[in-house]
A and B are shown apart, each in its own frame.
Chain A
Amino acid sequence: MDLWFSELQTENVKLSIRVDRQIFSQQSEVQRIDVFESREFGRILSLDGHIMLTERDEYIYDEMITHVPMAVHKNAKNILVIGAGDGGVVRELTRYDRVESIDLVEMDPLVVEVCREYLPQNACRLDDPRVSLHYENGLKFLRKKENSYDLIIVDSNDPFGPQEGLFTKEFYGNCFKSLREDGIMVNQQGSPFYEEDARACKRSHKRIVSTFPISRVYQAHIPTYAAGYWLFGFASKKYHPVDDLDAASWSMLGLHTQYYTTKLHQGAFFLPAYLEEMLKSVE
């Protein structure tokens, strides 16, 4: 069998992964959902032809979007996760005993169903009693919330797809309103390398900077995402992502991780020169 799944990272660059077989394919009300089995990356979840996660490298994303804010905000107990119907972020969050509630807002019920069935490594903690699932539009869910969360994790996929609304100023404003006075919002900020991605990245950074008093960007290496290079946004009302990191107390929790360390945490905020310049241009 010579079967390949390809994702166009730009019009002129593609990433191809040899696929053993296609396990699932269906068009939901919102998007087309596919699951592939591959030798190199294990199972792959694709939405509208874009790789959302692979079993092989999802831990990088899920650890970095979760442990960075959790190591800064030591009292984060009430947490909102938007998007992320695969459950990877929830899995990481449920490892903290101090977490009291996790609201998971996902617009597409079929994504959750598919991940429960085919990606148990990610979806394994969705039934934790602290987790409440809400199948709703993220913007709508947030409109009615005020001063309710310590941490909001925005795990939206594509700034040009059905979740475009999660990259807008009105969305970030609603996150601000829904967070407590020391709240943090973390979002995936895309890849800064290719031009179109860089534009989207700048746009959302600009909107976040105008909404939150503290706004920093950090990075991770994720092989199956565009250019293998991914950014996250750290926006906060009070805590600084590096100055307020309490490495010792995080280490005391004894959580075993594959990518995240408190040293890497600090290093992740030191960006390449071109990126510093790019972000500064919209600040």
Chain B
Amino acid sequence: MEERNNQNRAPIYEALEEFRDARVVPFDVPGHKRGRGNRELAEFLGERCVSIDVNSMKPLDNLCHPISVIREAEILAAEAFGSANAFFMVGGTTSAVQSMVLSACKRGDKIILPRNVHRSVINALVLNGAIPVYVNPEVDQRLGISLGMRFSQVKEAIEQNPDAACVLVNNPTYYGICSDLKGIVKLAHDAGMLVLADEAHGTHFYFGKGLPISAMRSGADMSSVSMHKSGGSLTQSSFLLTGENVHPGHVRQVINLTQTTSGSYLLMSSLDISRRNLALHGKEIFEQVKFLAEYARGEINEIGGYYAFGKEIVDKEAIYDFDPTKLSVHTLDIGLAGIEVYDLLRDEYDIQIEFGDLGNILAYISIGDRIQEVERLVSALGEIERNFRKSKAGMLSQEYIPPDVVVSPQEAFYAKKESLPRRETLHRISSEFVMCYPPGIPILAPGERITQEILDYIAYAKEKGCSLTGPEDEDIDNLNVLK
């Protein structure tokens, strides 16, 4: 009971409240001095908000070396998530993922990972020079989405690369698809490898019932958790969780290589307060989120033409489990690419969803949603079906192209290169990323050979209006390739 009660506390928040009451005179940074020096900003964000935008100091602890209130808040977070340690991250889950990868492997080490990882993972490989060993995820032929890693595929990869340092797993993918994390942890640990989880889309697994297993419960060694996605904290705030096998001092050192020394108390207090909220009310909150997503799925499937997929796609193989809070809808059967439905929802119906890819849309349902907005989304989809439906002919859905890794991401990124018109890059080795954002999963990563399939895919995605990012040339008419 004692432990449960502790979760009522929010040490950073409490320290900030106390600090505000103390009316300390600031002769330190930030220079706006509680907003007085920037009235417009204070008015826009609110007095209460700017008055706690303060610097590290004794009563408020220091993110680089936490010993008091931040440390306490980290201990409470670790308890709430069931991890040995928890680290407050203020550079987004990107920084958590990078710190995780940088802690677990180094230059020349192999890391086993699915290809449908977030760009931040491969970015980390550019930084540390580790070599990716991709497990090619299967693609669901109907939905055109990349799935999880099969247990047998991971087993094979581990057997073929017994020298690999670690295995990275998406838990879940953007679309809510999980691999057999517990099985993979056992395999990897038996082979002496660490297991890292990208749980950017899995915060709720730690608190809700009837959801896929969380990384820490499955025995994984490290996990990056996007509190700001399903957890309700401010954008850019995140947790890095570690298990018993990982030395917290080493992780702290790695984090401090790249993380700011001026950690934002807005972000840290939002993590603290959100953790408390989830620990105390998470179960009911995610019951409601699940209910809304399931309700929307049922209603959308009744419209006809759309397929809002749910738990029925679980096959215990490449789809080991499915996160029922995710609302993904397959749109190709009404003759519209997901990205087209995404644009229509925004332009015609003032509804902003998370993303649309070639075959699907994803609407993010969370802690802040109400039934009346869900009704709007469902009705707008019905209207799009009625007013914009087209023939399905000529629609492309293939989303996954197996990469041909020729050199390591780091080598390719720093190599001598030249910029060529896109169509002249066939068979060359790319030195940069190309991806649709969101979801931010690379079509091409540094060090990979450019194939006709990839060039066709880029052209089609551009034509459909996907927002393509990565290359130096923003229009992606030119690509940088190795000389």
Contacts and interface: CB of A to CB of B under 8 A. Distances in A.
B372 A162 contact: yes
Contact of A143 (B349, B350, B373, B382): B382
B80 interface: no
Nearest to B377: A170
A256 to B, nearest CB: 39
A143 B379 contact: yes
B376 A143 contact: no
B386 A170 contact: no
B321 to A, nearest CB: 30
Contacts of B15: none
Interface residues of A, number: 15
B383 A174 contact: yes
A174 B371 contact: no
B383 A139 contact: no
A137 B383 contact: no
A168 B376 contact: yes
Contact of A173 (B372, B375, B378, B383): B383
29 contacts: A137-B372, A137-B375, A139-B376, A139-B378, A140-B299, A140-B375, A140-B378, A143-B299, A143-B378, A143-B379, A164-B372, A165-B372, A165-B373, A165-B375, A168-B350, A168-B380, A169-B348, A169-B349, A169-B380, A169-B383, A170-B349, A170-B379, A170-B382, A171-B379, A173-B379, A173-B383, A173-B386, A173-B387, A177-B386
Interface in B332-384: 348-350, 371-373, 375-376, 378-380, 382-383
A145 to B, nearest CB: 11
A139 B386 contact: no
A79 B303 CA distance: 24
Given A143-B299, A174-B379, A168 B349 contact: yes
A208 interface: no
Contacts of A169: 348-350, 380, 383
B383 A170 contact: yes
6 nearest A-B residue pairs (beta carbon): A170-B380, A173-B383, A170-B379, A139-B375, A139-B379, A170-B383
A24 to B, nearest CB: 25
A231 interface: no
Main secondary structure of the interface of B (DSSP, over half): helix
A90 interface: no
B376 A165 contact: yes
A40 B350 CA distance: 42
Interface in A171-200: 171, 173-174, 177
A81 to B, nearest CB: 18
B289 to A, nearest CB: 19
Interface in A113-159: 137, 139-140, 142-143
A217 to B, nearest CB: 21
A165 B386 CA distance: 19
A170 B379 CA distance: 6
A162 B382 CA distance: 21
Interface in B269-301: 299
Interface centre among B348, B375, B387 (most CB of A within 10 A): B375
Q: Tell me which of A139, A164, A170 has the highest count of chain B C-beta atoms within 10 A of its own C-beta.
A: A170
B174 to A, nearest CB: 26
Given A139-B378, A169-B350, A169-B380, 8 more contacts: A139-B379, A140-B378, A143-B303, A162-B372, A165-B379, A169-B348, A169-B349, A174-B382
A61 B375 CA distance: 28
A58 B303 CA distance: 38
Given A165-B376, A170-B349, A170-B376, A137 B371 contact: yes
B377 to A, nearest CB: 9
A92 B382 CA distance: 33
A90 B40 CA distance: 51
Contacts of A174: 379, 382-383
A47 to B, nearest CB: 15
